[in-house]
Structure 1
Amino acid sequence: MSTNPAPTVPSTQSTDPDGLVHGLTVVELQTLSEKCLEARASAYCPYSLFRVGCALLLKTPPPTSSAIITGANVENASYPVGTCAERVAMGAAVVQGHRMGSFKAVAVATDMDDFCSPCGMCRQFLREFCEPHTPIFMHNRSGGYEVKTLEQLLPMSFGPEALPPREALQAMGVKMP
């Protein structure tokens, strides 16, 4: 059971004319926020003590599973081997069959008083599976958030569409395995 306060949707956040908060209903945002804060509590970070939780909101959840997939950072005594919360959550989503176009929003939470964005490696990793306009909600210790799109966090990004299709490479004579 998490001891985190339940996040609230700040009244200062912009909403669409139809009542959506950055494309999410208030209930979706509330649930997404709660899940990333809960995920933060399960982080394994005995070395840095820097807990991070991540929650991915699916556009269309499968009928037999949740609309939200979570992950937390997992450290290792061999420091570079640790894995960030965003990559843990996205790895779980990919194993479940989700790909580009499956995700409506991403939320991350840390114990910082300020807002903390995903690291550069995680921004690029999210870009592989999230569209540039996907909102990223960055929660602080108290559950408040700041939101930016993936494109704002990773301008001029490099994504899968930048690579030529296999057929084009083969037509150019590139040997494929």
Structure 2
Amino acid sequence: MSKLSHTEQEHMLDLAFEAMEKAYTPYSHFNVGACLKGESGKYYLGCNVESASYTPTNCAERTAVFKAVSEGEQKFSAIVIVCSGKNPAAPCGVCRQVLREFCKDDMPVVFADKDRNVIESTLGELLPHSFGPEDLL
């Protein structure tokens, strides 16, 4: 697993917490923030955005990915996700699949709770035996 240095992980946690403050969660009140690092070294932040009909709700991780892609970045080296809950929350299945589109299996995925209790993983550990672009004919 490619690991983030302690200093970089702390910096990305700080940025993810900043993003979490912008979350729009009038229904669940469960705020999430993400900091995605592009291979260029640029950071892309995202927060979750809820909708009254729930289906169009977007997670922080996908917000960060879509923001990065819309700005021309398509390769990523790490993501850090924070939440307002009492336990670290791993990315949902849809977010894992979207990350898989653009990221290598060994990309660090770090998630933390509101008290900065951290779990370190990789995309491959979170989404084993995944389907990706190389599986298409």
TM-score interval, normalised by the smaller of the two chains: over 0.9
CA distance in structure 1 between the partners assigned to 2:133 and 2:93 by the alignment: 17
Length-normalised TM-score, structure 1: 0.74
2:70 aligned with 1:90: no
Aligned equivalents of 1:160, 1:98: Cα separation in 2: 17
Aligned amino acid, residue 86 of structure 2 = D
Code of the residue aligned with 1:113 in structure 2: it is K
Partner Cα distance (2:53, 2:5) in 1: 41
Aligned to 2:33: 53
Q: Are the equivalent residues in 2 in contact too, given 1:107–1:136 (CA < 8 A)?
A: yes
- Greater relative CO (CA pairs within 8 A, separation 6+): 2
1:108-127 to 2 correspondences below 5 Å: 108-127=81-100
Which deviations, in whole Å up to 9, do the C-alpha atoms of 1:81-115 show, x marking residues without a partner?
1111111110000011111xx21110111112212
Q: Which runs of 5+ in 1 are unaligned?
A: 1-15, 17-21, 62-66, 165-177
Q: Counterparts in 2 of 1:6-17, with a 5 A limit?
A: none
1:69 maps to what in 2? 44
Residue-by-residue CA offset, 1:103-153 (whole Å, 9 max, x unaligned): 111011111221210001111011111111111000111112111100110
The TM-score, its normalising length taken from structure 2, stands at 0.94
User: 1 CA distance for matches of 2:33 and 2:86?
Assistant: 15
Note the 1:136-147 alignment, pairs <5 A. Answer: 136-147=109-120
Question: How many residues in Structure 1 have an aligned counterpart in Structure 2?
Answer: 137
Q: Give the counterpart letter for 2:7 in structure 1.
A: V
Aligned Cα RMSD in Å?
Answer: 1.4
Gaps of at least 5 residues in structure 2 are none
Do 1:37 and 1:143's aligned partners in 2 also have CA atoms closer than 8 Å?
Answer: no
1:93 partner amino acid: A
Q: Is 1:156 matched with 2:129?
A: yes
Q: Which residue of 1 aligns with 2:4?
A: 24
Residue 105 in structure 1 maps to residue 85 in structure 2: no
Other-structure match for 2:56: 81
Question: How far did residue 27 of structure 1 move?
Answer: 2.5
Whether the 8 Å contact between 2:9 and 2:80 is mirrored in structure 1 is no
> Bigger CA drift: 154-163 or 52-61?
52-61
Instruction: State which structure, 1 or 2, has the greater radius of gyration over its C-alpha atoms.
Output: 1
Is this contact kept in 1: 2:32–2:47, CA < 8 A?
yes
